[in-house]
Amino acid sequence: MKRVDEYKKIFERYGGMMRTRDLQKEKIQYRTLQRLIDQEAVEKVRYGYYQWVDPEDFSEVGTVIRLFPDAIFCMETALRYYGYSDRTPAEWHLGVSKDSGKSRFKIDYPFVKPHYMEPAYLEVGLTTGTMDGYPIRIYDKDRVICDCLRYRNKMDKEIFNKAVQQYVADPEKNIPRLLEYAEVLRVKKIVKELIGVWL
C-alpha cells in the first residue's frame, strides 16, 4: 500500500479533486479511499467528488472552480471582488447556462447560488482574474452593474446602492461598454434611469 504523500501526488495531478472514475483509473480502491477520509487527508465534497485536504493551502475558491469549471463569478461575489461591496457573501454567486444541470448545485459545501442565464448572454462581459492565487472566470465591472440593475429587487438595498455608488465613482468604469451590455441584456432603460442620474 502507498504512503499518504504518494496519494497526495495522485490527487495533485487532478488539481486536488478526483471523481470516482478518476479514482478507478488510478486503481484507488474504496477501502483505501475510506482510510484516507478517516485520516482526514481526503474529504467527500459531493456525490462522486473527493478533494485532498491541505489545511495549510486551503481555499474555498479552489473547491468552487474545481466543482464548477464552467461557472462565472457574478453578482455579490463579483461586487466583493471589485471592492463595490464590503460584505463577504454568504454564498458563491455563479453565472451558469440555464441549460446546465440543476442537481449539481445541490451540495452541502461550499454554499453556492447559481444564476441561470440564457446561453447567448452568458459570455457577455466575461473576463478573467485571480482570487486566492487561483485563476477565475468573472464578469467585468460593467456587466456586474447591468446584472445588479436587472435583479435590483432581489438584492439587499444597501448592497445595491453601495455598488452603484462605487461604480459611478470608479475611474475605470466604461460607460459606452455599460450601455452596449445594457442593450444586449435588455436593461438599457433601467441603466439610463438609475445610472444616468449619477453621470
Q: What is the pTM of this model?
A: 0.80
Residues 58-82: tens digit of each pLDDT: 678 988 998 999 999 999 999 999 9
Supply the pLDDT for residue 58.
Answer: 64
Residues 111-128: tens digit of each pLDDT: 999 999 999 999 999 999
Supply the pLDDT for residue 173.
Answer: 95
Supply the pLDDT for residue 177.
Answer: 96
Q: What does the block give as the cell for 98? A: 440555464
- The stretches in the chain having pLDDT less than 70 are 1, 55-58, 197-199
For residue 55, whether the previous peptide bond is cis, meaning omega lies within 30 degrees of 0, is: no
Please enumerate in sequence order all residues whose Cβ is within 8 A of that of 73, keeping only pairs 6 or more positions apart, or say none: 81, 92, 93, 94, 95, 131, 136, 137, 138, 139
Supply the pLDDT for residue 26.
Answer: 94
Supply the pLDDT for residue 123.
Answer: 96
